[in-house]
Amino acid sequence: MQSISALATSGVQKLVPYQGGKPVSELQRELGLSEIVKLASNENPLGPSTKVLAAIQAGFSELSRYPDGNAFALKAALSEKYKLTSEQITLGNGSNEILEILARAFLTTDSEVVFSQHAFAVYPIVTQSAGATAKVIPAINYGHDLSGMLTAMTDKTRLIFIANPNNPTGTYLTEQALSKFLAAVPEQVIVVLDEAYFEYISKEDYPNSIAWLAQYPNLVITRTFSKAYGLAGLRIGYSLSSPEMADILNRVRQPFNNNALALVAAEVALSDTDYLQQTVALNNAGMKQLTKAFVDLGLSWVASVGNFVSVDLKRDASAINTALLHKGVIVRPVANYEMPHHLRISIGTQAENEFFIRALKAVLADV
C-alpha cells in the first residue's frame, strides 16, 4: 500500500515541521520543575496591556458571532496611524500567514525565491510548500548581503524575503542600503520586507519603509502584534502594500482568518502608546543587562536591535541548552539557522534575565 507521505508534493515531503520554543508546561511535565523562565520565543514579558485585557473581556459576549471578515475598525485604525488607505492593508493570522499568502499567490514550481542565510525559518517553509526553488544567499556578519541577493536574481525570481531586523541574528539594514536595493530590483520581483520587530528600533538610519510604498508597487511590508504589543497568543499580523497588491492577497486570504478577540485587542493595542513605551524601555534595559553579563563571562554576541540576542558560546550549544533546561531556563537553540554555537535569548523582565544569567554562569562553570 502506498504511503500517505508519498502522495504529498515533493516540496512538502522534504519539509521538517517547524519547532517553536518549548512551552513551560512541557518542561514542567518532563522535569517536574516549579520555577521556570521562558526566554525562547521573543514574547513580550509584560503580557497584554490592561486596556487590551479589558477590551477582550468586553468582547466575550459576541463570541457566538463571526468576526468582521473585512476588519473595518482595525483597518481604519491602521490607516490613520500610517496615513494609508484601508485598501492597502491585508490582515493575517500572525504575519506568518501573510508570508504564506504571498507564496500561494505568486509562486509556482517554476519560481525562485531569494532570502538570506540565517533568516527566518518560515521563508524556506513557504517556498518549499509551493514547490518553488529557494536561493539562500550567504550572510555577511550575520546580516543580509544585498548585493549578493541582487546578483542571484534571474527571470524566474518572484519573491525576495528580507527581515529587517533579522531573526535570529538581530542585525538590521539601513535606509540608504535598502533604498539602493529597491531601486535595483526589477518590477516583476516582489520584495517582502518583514518588520516584525521594528517597534524596538531607535536607530536614526533605520528606514521609514512606508514612504516607499507609493514608489514601489512590488513592495510588501509585513508587521505583527505578536512582539511589541504582546499579543502572540491571539495570532494577528498585517501587511502594507499598494492597493493592487493587497487586492491580490485578499483574494487568497481565507474568510474570517482573524478571530473577533484578536481584532478588538489589536485595535486597542495600537492606540496604547504608554504600554509600547514601557515595552521598549524594558527591552533596552534588559539588553544592557544581558550583554553586560556576556562581557563578564567573556562571551561575544551578535549585536541586536530586536527583543532578543544571540550569544556565541564558542562550542556546540546543544549541551549547554540541555543543562539550562534542567535549571528551569528555556532559550532557543539556533543550529537550524546554521548557528550551532549560539543560543538566542529573548529579553525578559529584570528578574527573568537575572534568573537566566545565574543559570548560565552555573552551567558554564561546570563545562
Which domain covers residue 38, as residue numbers?
20-47+274-366
Is the domain of 230 the same as that of 296? no
Same domain assignment for residues 82 and 120: yes
Write the secondary structure of 288-344 as one string of H (helix), E (strand) and C (coil). Answer: HHHHHHHHHCCCEEECCCCCEEEEECCCCCHHHHHHHHHCCEECEECHHHCCCCEEE
Residue 4: inside a domain, yes or no?
A: no
Radius of gyration of the chain (CA): 21
**Which pLDDT does position 336 carry in this prediction?**
94
Can you say how many angstroms the Cα of residue 17 is from the centroid of all Cα atoms in its chain?
A: 17
* DSSP for residue 23: P
Dump the DSSP string for 60-106.
GGGTTSPP-TT-HHHHHHHHHHHT--GGGEEEESSHHHHHHHHHHHH
pLDDT digits (tens, 9 = 90+) for 95-122: 999 999 999 999 999 999 999 999 999 9
Neighbours of 298 (CB within 10 A): 8
| DSSP result, 215-258 | T-TTEEEEEESSSTTS-GGG--EEEE--HHHHHHHHHHSPTT-S
Q: How far apart are CA 97 and CA 235, in angstroms?
A: 9
Determine contact, residues 268/51, Cβ cutoff 8 Å: yes
Q: Which of 236, 255, 271 is the last residue of a domain?
A: 271
pLDDT at 26: 86
Pairing outcome for strands 329-330 and 89-92:
unpaired
Are 314 and 354 found together in one domain? Answer: yes
Residue 337 domain flag: yes
Kindly report, residue by residue over 179-225, the tens digit of the pLDDT: 999 999 999 999 999 999 999 999 999 999 999 999 999 999 999 99
CATH code of residue 287: 3.90.1150.10
pLDDT at 12: 77
Please tell me the pTM assigned to this model.
0.94
Which bin fits 336, alpha (ψ -120 to 50), beta or left (φ > 0)? Answer: alpha
Same domain, 95 and 219: yes
Do 295 and 258 lie in one domain? The reply is no
Is 18's pLDDT higher than 70?
no
Same domain, 267 and 361: no
Q: 146 with 240, same domain? A: yes
Domain contains 235 = yes
For cell 539557522, name the residue.
337
Averaged pLDDT, 62-80: 96
Could you tell me if 193 and 220 are in contact, meaning their C-beta atoms sit under 8 angstroms apart? yes
CATH code, domain carrying 77: 3.40.640.10
Q: What is the longest distance spanned by two Cα atoms in the chain? A: 61
Residue 15: the pLDDT is 66
| Contact (CB, 8 A) for 142 and 169 | yes
**Tally of domains in the chain:** 2
Q: 158, exposed or middle or buried, with CB in 10 Å at 0-12, 13-18, 19+?
A: buried
